[in-house]
Amino acid sequence: MTWLASLAETRSYHERTPCSFNYLSINCSDRCFVSLLSTLFSLLSMELGLQFGRPLFPAGFKCPPSRRTLLARSSNDSPGFSSNGSVSVKPAKTVPGKPEADVVVIGSGIGGLCCAGLLARYNQDVLVLESHDQPGGAAHSFEIKGYKFDSGPSLFSGFQSRGPQANPLAQVLDALGESVPCAKYDSWMVYIPEGEFLSRIGPTEFYKDLEKYASQNAVQEWKKLLDAILPLSAAAMALPPLSIRGDLGVLSTAATRYAPSLLKSFVEMGPQGAFGASKLLRPFSEIMDSLELKDPFIRNWVDLLAFLLAGVKSNGILSAEMVYMFAEWYKPGCTLEYPLDGGGAIVDALVRGMEKFGGRLSLGSHVVKIIVENGKATGVKLKGGQFIRAKKAVVSNASMWDTLNLLPKDQLPKSYIDRIKTTQQCESFMHLHLGFDAEVVESC
């Protein structure tokens, strides 16, 4: 039996008062999302002279006049399922408006919409091309017979946070002048071989679960882990999530820009803490190994948390991300959040924000090829043969494997191709979507 987790929650809707239940599942990698945003912020800072660490809406800022946003719709009147609680949109035969943009974004997943929204926010002409008939990618919602379901992420926190250390998605929504109303909760249902229990986040509650379902040794190792990593949270908090990357780009997005705050946190932590902070950009499993944590329950639990956060185990996630999460989940008064209108509300907010600043979204626009001329991406070709010109850049929110297939092989270094082909994909898993009529449940 493998370790699984699910949200202990019911979500009711007014039309037929059904309630839906979703197994907790994360389909998109926060690592990829943060890396994409970090790259975007680096490009924006170089091209547009933006300053990091300051409010994205500076004092006295006035929004530029919105350009009319065009949303592609098909003349096909066949019925379709509604996604995100909105009117079903059919595939487009041609891209709306002019067949060009400063930046063409392939895919309307969370990363693609955030990228497009921020570029539009800073006066770049952006066009998002989505193959599906609904935006959102792995994060889109769908509705069947009055029941709303999330196709992907169901675990959220930090939407109400603000400032440099805030949730990256909250920062993007804030920059776009959008918000997502959420309900707060502090517990989630866990199904593991050792038992089924309602786990609560916070500084002390999990110790009770360890005593009941694990062992005293697990209790001691958990305390040892928290004692070691919580002091590192000062350094993790000194690096805003948007600046964290797993490549050398971190030198521009984090190390250089936030050197003063990092040095301050090192001084506060002392020599031992500063040495430990040097591991923040290494896999979290290395911290666990250095502490000689061997209890199977603790190792499995940390792997589960890493999976919920980024879709990988502890050996595939940066320590900075895990330390940041531990600081958020195991502090007094912490809570989790869930959008009142489901996960699709996040997609809706990002689309609204992008459109507000003139961004365009074209659904049913399947990209089959990225056109490269003289070593530069100059546009894309759609399935129907239409060419869309990109005056400045093409950004792909597709997977690295799908993106590789869109690029001409003779334009890519062999080392790049080999690295992508040897990169392991996350293991697949099954979603179970169930709907229960709340009126029937309440009458039982």
DSSP 243-286: G--SSTTHIIIIITTTHHHHHHHHHHHHHHHHHHHTTTTSBHHH
Among candidate residues 312, 334, 356, the one where a domain is terminated: 334
Greatest C-alpha distance within the chain = 69
> Considering the domain boundaries, does residue 440 fall inside one?
no
The 10s digit of each residue's pLDDT in 309-338 is 888 899 999 888 888 888 888 878 888 999
- Residue 17 shares a structural domain with residue 147: yes
What amino acid is encoded at 433 in this protein? H
Q: Is residue 439 part of a domain?
A: no
In this predicted structure, what is the pLDDT of residue 188?
86
pLDDT of residue 146: 86
Q: Label the pairing between strands 387-396 and 100-106.
A: parallel
Q: Which residues of the chain have pLDDT under 50?
A: 1-35, 37-39, 41-91, 251, 262, 265-267, 271, 273-275
Give the DSSP letter of residue 51.
-
CB 40 within 8 A of CB 225: no
Q: If you compute the radius of gyration of the chain from its CA atoms, what whole number of angstroms results?
A: 23
Q: Are 401 and 282 contained in the same domain?
A: no
Task: Answer whether residue 251 is part of any domain.
Answer: yes
pLDDT at 438: 81
Distance CA 142, CA 433 (A): 11
Same domain? For 362 and 384 the reply is yes
Coil, strand, or helix at residue 165?
coil
Q: Is residue 269 part of a domain?
A: yes
Structural domain including 213 reads 187-334
- Total number of domains in the chain: 2
Is residue 164 located within the same domain as residue 255?
no
Mark out the alpha helices in 122-159 (DSSP H runs): none
The pLDDT score that the predictor gives to residue 430 is 78
Burial zone of 53 (CB within 10 Å; 0-12 exposed, 13-18 middle, 19+ buried): exposed
Identify whether residues 16 and 162 lie together within a single domain.
yes
CA distance 409 to 372: 10
Task: Say if residue 21 is in the same domain as residue 169.
Answer: yes
Q: Counting every residue, how long is the chain?
A: 444
In a domain, 438, yes or no: no
Global pTM value:
0.73
Q: How far apart are CA 35 and CA 320, in angstroms?
A: 13
Residue 442 is assigned to a structural domain of this protein: no
Considering the domain architecture, whether residues 32 and 87 belong to the same structural domain is answered as yes
Confidence at residue 111, expressed as pLDDT on a 0 to 100 scale: 93
Tokens representing residue 229 in the block: 């990593």
Last residue within a domain, chosen from 334, 356, 378: 334
Phi-psi region of 82 (alpha: psi -120 to 50; beta: other; left: phi over 0): beta
- Is 351 inside any structural domain? yes
DSSP code of residue 385? S
Of 307, 334, 361, the position where a domain reaches its end is 334
d(CA 84, CA 80): 13
Return the pLDDT at 373.
94
Contact 382, 188 (CB under 8 A): no
Give the model's pLDDT for residue 239.
Answer: 57
Q: How far apart are CA 75 and CA 14, in angstroms?
A: 31
282 vs 317: CA distance, rounded Å: 8
For residues 410 and 45, give the distance between their C-alpha atoms in angstroms, rounded to a whole number.
31
Tell me the sheet residues that pair with 147.
144
Task: Quickly list H helices, 124-192.
Answer: 168-175
pLDDT digits (tens, 9 = 90+) for 99-133: 999 999 999 999 999 999 999 999 999 999 999 99
Whether residues 325 and 204 share a domain: the answer is: yes
- DSSP code, position 390: E
- What integer pLDDT is reported at residue 83 of this predicted model? 39
Q: Distance (Å, rounded) from C-alpha 178 to C-alpha 184? A: 19
φ, ψ for residue 155 (rounded to 5)?
-110, 115
Residue 388 lies in a domain: yes
Let me know whether 270 and 322 are in one domain: yes
Do 140 and 239 reside in the same domain of the chain? no
- Residues 344 and 137 sit within 8 Å (Cβ to Cβ): no
Same domain, 212 and 330: yes
Claim to verify: residue 193 and residue 210 sit in the same structural domain: yes
pLDDT at position 229: 84
pLDDT at site 113: 98
Q: Which of 64, 57, 69, 113 is nearest to 355 (CA)?
A: 69
- CATH code at 29? 3.50.50.60
